[in-house]
Homo-oligomer: A and B are copies of this chain.
Amino acid sequence: TANKKLLILPGDGIGPEVMREVRRLIDWMAHRRRVSFDVQDGLVGGAALDATGSPCPDGTVEKARAADAVLFGSVGGPKWDALPFEQRPELGILRLRKDLGLFANLRPAVVLDPLVNASSLKPDLVRGLDVMIVRESTGGIYFGEPRGIETGPDGKRRGVDTEVYTEDEIARVARVAFDLARSRRNHVTSVEKANVMQSGRLWRAVVSEVGKAEYPDVELQHMYADNCAMQLCARPKQFDVILGSNLFGDLLSDLAAALTGSIGMLPSATLGAVGPDGRRNALYEPVHGSAPDIAGKGVANPLAQVLSFAMLLRWSFGMEEDAKLIEDAIGRVLAGGMRTADIMQPGMARVGTGVMGEALLRE
């Protein structure tokens, strides 16, 4: 196959160690399936900060632009917690999303059968759960201006952020959600606080318009964000695709991930617009963070990172067969009773990062 360009950004905490298992998989693929990629490495987050003084150096952004897809680990850790805002490791991922125009963050919350009992919810409520959260990821309160902390004439501080959405920003991410719904169960729940927020009113109006004009076949439901948080907890299986702003999508996708009970298993994709050449920028990363508390101990679950790689193969490299191969291998490893600490259950075999990775290669 052609030499697809893959940029690997391991980042901080458990990022590098779970990424190691992906590299072993890539090596295995080169030997056993004769597929090879043009793999580059880059710095991001705290690692980049330490090496270059910036959490997202220009060099990394350039490499990311040139790549066909980016595989991202995770960023952040106590070492950089006291730094000023402009130097936080998190700016690494924020800048990549913004500069590459990665406006649609797709986060599946899926419960695999062998892991039903890992959920904090009763098994019947989550068995077979398969929800996709589509989160807008280059707009809203994450980037709106004005923003800042100012000190008034009275010497008092005031913190300001601006939530702003244009109708085009809303429409393009809504289309991603509607398209996905068509390949799933044909249902979109659009989430906002139209009862108190003006951007929420516009959000609701534009999603309705796009739905009516372009996706009359997809069922569209509107829900307030607070109610959605409730419903996710009470009856998660009512949802198919959930669409929300950067901020609501952040909270609700983490909540959805938590209720699967196996966040160490969840991949995500962040996609840009499809260009005239049919190419689209894309970044893949686990839903979990850098987990500094367990970093370096060899106990982290590598499966979310591996599944992110499988997603990348499917969506960016068109390698459905290889993606499926990896996902099936994971299913078999879990069915065989192997568990990392985060998804450990009575009667299963507890293993570390490396053993899990090896088991995967064997399958």
A111 close to B (CB within 8 Å): no
Q: Quick check: B158 and A164 within 8 Å, CB to CB? A: yes
- CB-based contact B120/A234 at 8 Å: yes
A interface SS class: helix
Considering only CB atoms, which chain B residue lies closest to A253 in the complex?
B226
Chain B residues with CB under 8 A of A226? 250-251, 254-255
Is A221 engaged at the interface, CB distance under 8 Å to the other chain? no
Q: Please count how many residues in chain A sit with their CB below 8 Å of the partner chain's CB atoms.
A: 60
8 Å CB contact of A163 from B121, B125, B161? B161
A33 contacts the other chain (Cβ, under 8 Å)? no
Q: How many copies of this chain does one complex carry?
A: 2
With both chains docked as a complex, state the minimum distance between the C-beta of A345 and any C-beta of chain B, in angstroms: 13
Distance A41 CA – B19 CA, assembled complex (angstroms):
64
Task: Find A261's partner among B234, B252, B261 (CB 8 Å cutoff).
Answer: B234
Chain A contacts with B in 185-215, Cβ cutoff 8 A: 193, 195-203, 205-206
A158 to chain B: closest residue by CB: B166
Closest B residue to A143 using CB positions: B196
Contact A225 B199, CB 8 Å, known A120-B233, A156-B167: no
Contact B251 A233 (CB under 8 A): no
Answer whether residue A247 sits at the interface, using C-beta atoms and an 8 A cutoff. Answer: yes
A225-B251, A226-B250 given; A199·B160 CB < 8 A: yes
* In-complex Cβ contact of A148 among B120, B198, B255 (8 A): B198
Q: Is the CB of A94 within 8 A of B196?
A: yes
Is A40 part of the contact surface with B, judged by Cβ < 8 Å?
no
Q: Answer whether residue A23 sits at the interface, using C-beta atoms and an 8 A cutoff.
A: no
For residue A240, CB closer than 8 A to chain B, the reply is no
- The answer to whether A229 and B230 have CB atoms under 8 Å apart is no
Once bound together, how far apart are the Cα atoms of A231 and B168, in whole Å?
34
> Digit string of A257-269 for contact with B (CB within 8 Å is 1, else 0)?
1110101000000
**In the complex, are the beta carbons of B158 and A195 less than 8 A apart?**
no
**A184 contacts the other chain (Cβ, under 8 Å)?**
no
- Point out the residues of chain B lying under 8 angstroms from A148, CB to CB: 198
Q: Are A159 and B121 in contact (CB under 8 A)?
A: no
Q: Are A201 and B162 also in contact (CB < 8 A) when A90-B195, A251-B225, A254-B227 are?
A: no
Query: Which A residues lie at the B interface, using CB under 8 A?
Result: 76, 85, 88, 90, 94, 120-122, 125, 141-142, 144, 147-149, 156-168, 193, 195-203, 205-206, 225-227, 229-231, 233-235, 247, 250-252, 254-255, 257-259, 261, 263
Q: Which 4 A-B pairs have the closest CB atoms?
A: A159-B202, A159-B199, A230-B258, A226-B254
